[in-house]
Structure 1
Amino acid sequence: SALLAGVAGADRVVGEPAEAAAIVRCCGYLPLAIRIAGARLAGRQAWSLRTLHDRLADESSRLSELRVGDLGVRPSFELSLRQLPARARTAFCRTAVLGAQDFPSWVVDAVLGREDTHEVLDVLVDANLVSLAGRDAGGQPRYRLHDLLRCYAAELLAEEPASVRRETLSRVLSVLLALAKTAAADLPPAFGAMTGPALPAASPKLPAAPLEWFTAERKLLAGAVQLAADAGLDELAWQLTAAAVPFYDLRGAYDDWRRSHLTALAAVEAAGNIAGAAVLHRGLGQVRLYHDEYEAAVADMDRSAALFRSLGDVRGEALAVAGLGTVARVRDHPREALSCYRRALTGLEQAGDQTGVAQMRNAIGSTYALLGEFTEADTWLRRARDLAREIADPHREAKVLTELGTLHRDAGRLPDSLACLRLALSILEDLDDERCSAYALLGIGQTLLAAGEPVQARGVCDRALRVFRETGNRQGETTGLALLEQAQRRRSPSTVTRA
């Protein structure tokens, strides 16, 4: 604000410090732009700083506002751009399709519709039209346009035919989707998660481990869903949303999960995209279940099941019915849950979805345990574990082990319970699944408490509660707090079972 004060007058800046700071931000902290803004204020004493801020807030006209006499920001940008090769000029303006997002290098390939464009990016960086924004969680460099340069690029992009703008955005988002699907395939499967058919897109090699890649592209993915929805690219909107669900589930990113689903759902419903709506209602139902919004979860899953049924999609309908079973189980209606799970199992077997079959065997076994039918529970859980091993699904095996640990505890076999739960925790921690690890920790805490070890039970409960609070898992937090209260009421004996 000092530069602005030096040109516009210190008294005016001191009188409106918040507006002065906002003007400097709109100028992207560029000295030339700040001097021009100050000169405009100096020549218009009747203007408040708020007046100029309001005029600069509209990015589509910001560069026109940053001009006084023969001095302007746009001419300096035009001069820099005229000196570039044609491909670099095209790449510069088309990167504006992503808005304010920073981006990895493959985006330049995508906007130009060709590979090996590193030299184009080098030209843009050397000309100070694109800047290096650092390295992301996966170790790859990120690039961005200065705020005012982005406004200029957007002006140039707006001069392109609408078909070119749409095609450019579609290419970028299709590559992003291909990368997201590749990354999601190596994450633990989220219950009920579904993806759409492959879209034609040349995908670069995943530049990082799947979890690191999703962490790096989390903001880009969220922004991409909004961009796709705004552009009427409903198929891309819902597929990008669905592809991120395994990451959201693993990280407990429920706000991102809900927001992206609502955005994409509005787009697919406007377009009459039934398949997309079916998938999104199933996903919304799941995140609402996690937030204990049971009536809304049932409504979404019922809607999903009906839409899948209308499409003749047996697997999709089965996964929606399985979700209804989980809501029933959480609401303490185990017989209703069993009915849903058996219906879902039949559909998943018919569809040949072995991962889903293992999930349903697990769910049926755990529900029998709730009913006190331990022999049936043991049979179903062991069948689930056998299938999980057969299809090399360590995440499902860990979930089954967690249920077996509970079953052993209820039967008084505490050493067996601890063995199953500790093995489950080890697998889940190796998979970096914080949410399911927290539930395994709760199970260990419950068994330790049953074994007369409240001090150790409190320790593992505290670890689980930290995760539940960080991820907004109210149901898990409630269970953990109840267990912690029990542990605090008891005294620990001298003999301690090592946790």
Structure 2
Amino acid sequence: MPRLLAGIAGRDRVEAEPAEAAAIAEACGHLPLAIRVAGARLAGRGGWPLRVLRAKLVDESTRLRELSSGELAVRASFDLSVRQLPAEEADAFVRLALLGPHDFPGWVVDALLDRPDGEHLLDGLVDANLLEACGTDGIGQPRYRLHDLLRCHALELAEALLDRAGTLERTLRTWLWLAVTAARRLPVTFGTTIAGVAPMPAPEHLLAEPVAWFEAERRTLCGVVDLAAAAGLADVAWQLAAACVPFFDLHSHYEDWARTHQRALAVTRDKAGRAALLRGIGQVHIYRDEFADAEREMLAARELYREVGDPRGEGIAIAGVGTVCRLRAEYDGAMACYLEALERLETGGDLHSVALIRASIGGVHGSLGDQESSRAWLTSGRRLAADLGDSHREALVLVRLAALHRTLGEHNAELVSARRAVAILQELTDERCTAFAQVELAEALLSNGCPEAAHDLVQQALETYRRTGNREGEPAALRTLARAAGALDQLLLPGFQPR
């Protein structure tokens, strides 16, 4: 129970509405002055349930107005603090409010002020208790955030900025430039290639470890998509959402992936942008085992790609439909989609995707019982991936080759392929694909008489699937787990002799 609020507004009232009392304290940011003002308002209005004040504090644009009672006013206190700042620090404080509620790295003040040496101004704001220092992130950047009430006050002051829209756009486009540049440096290429993004003055040295950079900025980047959408910068919104896809895929951030794409889709009218977003949403549906939704989004993306004359995008969308067919065991439909996708991708010059589609065709041949054709297509896909230096796609092909070796009774080759795939994917920190490969390695271990190791490995894969919400791979993992458990039980039978 918020004790300060209870001491002013009355203990009985606070105890009668504990959730509302907690929400009021949260809206006040737990600042003693703000809570005292809220308590004074309630004390002077004994007939108000706490929920009335709570409702009045929901709207950030009027929150400071509500936090005024007699001579007590939060805004007046903030005004005094800001007036005591040097002009440059006051300007930085006002512009920082444009970034929304998320924490941020120090370099953004340079973009906000359109100058290269503004970060030192943040120290003055921290010293004045107008900015919170939040420690450092995973790549060593100091991070900061504006208290919610201070941000509300700064936003009021920002109304007077003549270049408010330009300030925000410049900063958001700097985020976009960094994200696109970081995505190009990731070990995995997946999704839409973002071209034509104008370079911006930005600290590219932070991208030395692009995966770590994306992890450090993930929540902030999601917030930037929201800001861009709200500001009517649809191109920034969809391009930033699409630029994050390789990282979201690598670390299985499906919620962020879906949310940023839906938010950007709501404001994007550009056909190429909508196609990229729909294809991305369709991929998330595949991972979640939502095949009807996935097929609908992929087909819609395909049509848009066709309208804008993008054979590569069309091929990737058709391949997505093929994957839906394959997962439904509709192998003839899958084959037709994959062959069409192969033609489009070759026309579009995307050899990396061609390598994986060749493997997909090989996998369908295997499901249809044509193992020799399967071997030829899989070998072709692996060779192309290796020639391109694309270790990620080579690993995915190796997983399918391991399955083929198992079908043909080539158990040593099965084990070699599966182990190599797991090693590559673990090095690339691709959680979802590592789990996929671990299940195949578990099958290889079972084939080679190692049920205990297989059982442990498939348990790891299941943990990853469940933690990331990836329902696509769970059924196969459970089947492998059951076989491993059965093999372990057999080992315990009296008189059992290992082969």
Q: How high is the TM-score relative to the length of structure 2?
A: 0.93
Count of residue pairs brought into register by the alignment: 492
Residue 243 of structure 1: CA displacement?
0.9
Question: Which residue pairs with 2:225 in the alignment?
Answer: 225
Question: Which residue pairs with 2:340 in the alignment?
Answer: 343
Q: Which amino acid aligns with 2:226?
A: Q
Structure 1 segment 350-365 matched on structure 2, within 5 A: 350-365=347-362
Name the CA shift for 1:495/1:151 in 2 (closer, same or farther; >3 Å): farther
CA distance in 2, matches of 1:492, 1:430: 34
Residue 389 of structure 1: CA displacement?
2.0
SS of corresponding position for 2:116 = coil
> Does 338-347 or 487-496 show the bigger shift?
487-496
Q: Which amino acid aligns with 2:164?
A: R
Residue 89 of structure 1: CA displacement?
1.7
Residue 12 of structure 1: CA displacement?
2.7
CA distance in 2, matches of 1:240, 1:496: 56
Structure 1 segment 50-449 matched on structure 2, within 5 A: 50-161=51-162, 164-189=163-188, 191-207=190-206, 209-268=209-268, 272-449=269-446
Q: Which amino acid aligns with 1:145?
A: L
CA distance in 2, matches of 1:5, 1:414: 71
Question: Which residue pairs with 1:15 in the alignment?
Answer: 16
> Does 453-462 or 309-318 show the bigger shift?
453-462
CA distance in 2, matches of 1:281, 1:15: 48
Q: Deviations over 1:42-63 (max 9, x none)?
A: 2222222222222222211111
CA distance in 2, matches of 1:19, 1:360: 56
CA distance in 1, matches of 2:75, 2:343: 64
Do 1:365 and 1:379's aligned partners in 2 also have CA atoms closer than 8 Å? yes
Q: Deviations over 1:152-186 (max 9, x none)?
A: 0111123335xx33322222221111221222223
CA RMSD of aligned residues (A): 2.0
Do 1:455 and 1:492's aligned partners in 2 also have CA atoms closer than 8 Å? no
> Does 357-366 or 313-322 show the bigger shift?
357-366
Residue 299 of structure 1: CA displacement?
1.6
SS of corresponding position for 1:33 = helix
Give unpaired runs (5+ residues) of structure 2. none
CA distance in 1, matches of 2:174, 2:291: 36
CA distance in 2, matches of 1:450, 1:240: 45
Residue 142 of structure 1: CA displacement?
0.9
Do 2:27 and 2:57's aligned partners in 1 also have CA atoms closer than 8 Å? yes
Q: Which amino acid aligns with 2:260?
A: S
Do 2:286 and 2:472's aligned partners in 1 also have CA atoms closer than 8 Å? no
Name the CA shift for 1:468/1:495 in 2 (closer, same or farther; >3 Å): farther
Name the CA shift for 1:192/1:333 in 2 (closer, same or farther; >3 Å): farther
Q: Which amino acid aligns with 2:330?
A: H
Q: Which amino acid aligns with 1:488?
A: A
Residue 144 of structure 1: CA displacement?
0.5
CA distance in 2, matches of 1:257, 1:115: 32
Question: Which residue pairs with 1:481 in the alignment?
Answer: 478
Do 2:275 and 2:304's aligned partners in 1 also have CA atoms closer than 8 Å? yes
Q: How high is the TM-score relative to the length of structure 1?
A: 0.93
Q: Deviations over 1:295-327 (max 9, x none)?
A: 222221111111111111121111112212222
> Does 189-198 or 116-125 show the bigger shift?
189-198
Residue 477 of structure 1: CA displacement?
1.0
Q: Which amino acid aligns with 2:342?
A: L
Do 1:28 and 1:146's aligned partners in 2 also have CA atoms closer than 8 Å? yes
CA distance in 2, matches of 1:319, 1:469: 27
Q: Deviations over 1:410-430 (max 9, x none)?
A: 111101100110011011111
Q: Which amino acid aligns with 1:234?
A: A
CA distance in 2, matches of 1:22, 1:322: 48
Q: Which amino acid aligns with 2:264?
A: A
Residue 197 of structure 1: CA displacement?
3.0
Question: Which residue pairs with 1:31 in the alignment?
Answer: 32
Give unpaired runs (5+ residues) of structure 1. none
Q: Which amino acid aligns with 2:421?
A: A
Do 1:192 and 1:320's aligned partners in 2 also have CA atoms closer than 8 Å? no
Do 1:188 and 1:246's aligned partners in 2 also have CA atoms closer than 8 Å? no
Q: Which amino acid aligns with 2:351?
A: Q
CA distance in 2, matches of 1:458, 1:4: 56
CA distance in 1, matches of 2:14, 2:332: 69
Do 1:452 and 1:492's aligned partners in 2 also have CA atoms closer than 8 Å? no
Residue 122 of structure 1: CA displacement?
1.9
Do 1:7 and 1:38's aligned partners in 2 also have CA atoms closer than 8 Å? yes
Q: Which amino acid aligns with 2:53?
A: L
Do 1:194 and 1:279's aligned partners in 2 also have CA atoms closer than 8 Å? no
CA distance in 2, matches of 1:202, 1:155: 28
Do 1:182 and 1:206's aligned partners in 2 also have CA atoms closer than 8 Å? no
Do 2:418 and 2:444's aligned partners in 1 also have CA atoms closer than 8 Å? no
Do 1:178 and 1:201's aligned partners in 2 also have CA atoms closer than 8 Å? yes
SS of corresponding position for 1:133 = strand
Q: Which amino acid aligns with 1:207?
A: L
CA distance in 1, matches of 2:101, 2:351: 42
Q: Which amino acid aligns with 1:152?
A: H
Name the CA shift for 1:196/1:289 in 2 (closer, same or farther; >3 Å): farther
SS of corresponding position for 1:118 = coil
Residue 495 of structure 1: CA displacement?
7.9
Residue 190 of structure 1: CA displacement?
5.2
Residue 467 of structure 1: CA displacement?
0.7
Do 1:184 and 1:246's aligned partners in 2 also have CA atoms closer than 8 Å? yes
